[in-house]
Structure 1
Amino acid sequence: MRIKVIFESEKIFSLNKDYRRYFISFLKKVFEEANLKEIYQRKEYKPFTFSVWLGKNFKIDEELNVSKEISFLFSSGDPVIITNFYNGVIKLKKENFKIIREKLRIKDINLLSYKKINRDRAIFKTIGVCVLNNPEASKNDFKRWYIIPTDDIEKFNEILFKRTNERYQFLIKKSDTHRIRFNLIEDYPIKEIIVKHYKGYVRGFKGIFELKGSPEILQFIYDYGFGVRTGQGFGLLEIVKEL
């Protein structure tokens, strides 16, 4: 289930490249309005993911030049979370959301049509950046701590299986495990992405790829996000087609 929130500003403005934290602040405010502020108070897997589209006039320079209209796409497989997010945004609609010096107003809120995955193979594309980390590596070893498919596809799939099933068991409250495999697609190269985040840097990837697994685990990834740090604006996918 997905909700799109459209923000509008009076003029085109610039954002720091570490922009996700401003929208995390917005999410915290929404959940406070919905009496769910404890979601961000606990250090645990978050039952949602999100991504921000910075508009058709978006340009990268020393800062990010942003359009007057920004879209915030929120996704969760939990109807309670979706309902509370929607109600929280409604309560904030009359308020301005401030990013640095710029004021944004909530222009519109749209509940998007639900997509049900029925097959065990599907092509996905990234909307945001996807992030996965290697629990066997040191956090001080940036290139090994963050792993992308083109580093070592077999190791990547081993970690993807572990992380995905950990999140699935925690969020869905089921003890079963599901196979999941990431396959590269010829002619669709995966792009390494380094992004600024909370005054540090995160390594991830973007691209189009195939996932193989049970329909239930593919649906879980689609609803709750791919990899880790989904509650910080990473891991949102769109489905291209089922195979």
Structure 2
Amino acid sequence: MRANLKLKFEKPLVLPIHYNHIIQAAILKLLSDENYSRFIHDQGFKYEKRHFKMFTFSRLEGNFLIDKGNKTITYFDGASLQISTIEEEFMKYIINNVLLNEGIKLIGNHIQVEKVELKHMDVEEGGGRITTKSPIVVYSTFEIEGRKKTYYYNPKEKEFEEILRKNLIKKYMAYFGKEPKDKYFKITPIENLKESIVIYKGTVIKGWNGIFEVNGSPEILKLAYDVGLGAKNSQGFGCFEFI
């Protein structure tokens, strides 16, 4: 399920260019139950050695201006933010606290939420075209001469699709405790592909934006829509929308 928040700014909102951690912190603060918040933040849903927080979010969408000299991005008037999760309890806290507080807090600023739209996606026909709302991250970590190296794949490499598919299966098993009945998943890059480099708390992360064609079983595609494609979803990566 997905919440689309329409934000209104009384004055221009100035953020660092790399602001994912700020949005993530604001979302986690909306989880007002301390035990549940700690579970999502510290543990999440586990499969083997992997822990999944089962939520993702978009970039802020609105009119903006980038100041490369000061490394800031300024949003004018308003923006929209999409928050997506498979967890009903997670979404309940988000919606209730946004309405109760009449907004959210970003770096100490109270941001008014003009409108909240809740959307459930039922995938029945097996896929379609999507556009990214935040970059899709696909990577592998290798050890070379005793040092760990991270390699980020681009959408035209064959590993991109296979790693995405395996990642979705692991998420499914972490949340539902069983394998999906149908593991089919395919993604094809279509157009407007652009690499996005984001610095998250000092770490460089590389992902890809663009338009893709996705096909797969309904259970796999719905999970992908709710929790995001690829890695680092809870840091603001892998959110997409069908077009």
TM-score tier by shorter-chain length is 0.7 to 0.9
Normalising by structure 2, we get a TM-score of 0.84
**Which one is further off, 102-111 or 166-175?**
102-111
Select the residue among 103, 117, 127 that pairs with 2:123. Answer: 117
Q: Which residue of 2 aligns with 1:14?
A: 14
Q: Which residue of 2 aligns with 1:47?
A: 54
> What does residue range 224-239 of structure 1 map to in structure 2 within 5 Å?
224-239=227-242
Q: How far 1:7 sits from its partner (Å)?
A: 3.1
Q: Which residue of 2 aligns with 1:133?
A: 139
Q: Tell me, in whole angstroms, the C-alpha distance in 2 between the residues paired with 1:214 and 1:13.
A: 41
Identity of aligned residues (%): 26
Q: Secondary structure at the match of 1:18?
A: coil
Q: Quick check: 2:142–2:148 contact (8 Å CA) kept in 1?
A: no
Q: Tell me, in whole angstroms, the C-alpha distance in 1 between the residues paired with 2:22 and 2:118.
A: 24
Q: How far 1:135 sits from its partner (Å)?
A: 4.4
Q: Tell me, in whole angstroms, the C-alpha distance in 1 between the residues paired with 2:126 and 2:141.
A: 27
Q: Quick check: 2:189–2:210 contact (8 Å CA) kept in 1?
A: no
Q: Quick check: 1:8–1:104 contact (8 Å CA) kept in 2?
A: no
Q: Quick check: 2:23–2:106 contact (8 Å CA) kept in 1?
A: no
Unaligned regions of 5+ residues in structure 1, if any?
Answer: none
Q: Tell me, in whole angstroms, the C-alpha distance in 2 between the residues paired with 1:79 and 1:182.
A: 27
Q: How far 1:92 sits from its partner (Å)?
A: 3.0
Q: Is 2:185 aligned against 1:213?
A: no
Change (3 A) 1:81 1:68: same
Q: Quick check: 1:7–1:104 contact (8 Å CA) kept in 2?
A: no
- Paired letter, 2:207: G
Q: Which runs of 4+ in 1 moved over 4 A?
A: 135-140
Change (3 A) 1:52 1:183: closer
- Paired letter, 1:126: T
What CA deviation, in whole Å up to 9, does each residue of 1:97-149 have, x standing for no partner? 242xx62323334133423111123111101111122245678534x2x2221
Q: Secondary structure at the match of 1:52?
A: coil
Unaligned regions of 5+ residues in structure 2, if any?
Answer: 45-50
Q: Quick check: 2:6–2:78 contact (8 Å CA) kept in 1?
A: yes
What CA deviation, in whole Å up to 9, does each residue of 1:195-223 have, x standing for no partner? 12112211000000111211111111111
Q: Quick check: 2:135–2:238 contact (8 Å CA) kept in 1?
A: yes
Q: Which residue of 1 aligns with 2:48?
A: none
Select the residue among 99, 105, 129 that pairs with 1:97. Answer: 105
Q: Is 2:178 aligned against 1:174?
A: yes
Change (3 A) 1:180 1:71: same
- Paired letter, 1:84: Y
Q: Which residue of 1 aligns with 2:114?
A: 108
Q: How far 1:19 sits from its partner (Å)?
A: 0.8
Change (3 A) 1:13 1:49: closer
Q: Tell me, in whole angstroms, the C-alpha distance in 2 between the residues paired with 1:42 and 1:7.
A: 30
Q: Quick check: 1:5–1:109 contact (8 Å CA) kept in 2?
A: yes
CA RMSD of aligned residues (A): 2.3
Q: Secondary structure at the match of 1:10?
A: coil
Q: Which residue of 1 aligns with 2:188?
A: 183
Q: Tell me, in whole angstroms, the C-alpha distance in 1 between the residues paired with 2:106 and 2:89.
A: 27
Q: Is the strand fraction higher in 1 or 2?
A: 2
Select the residue among 52, 61, 67 that pairs with 1:61. Answer: 67
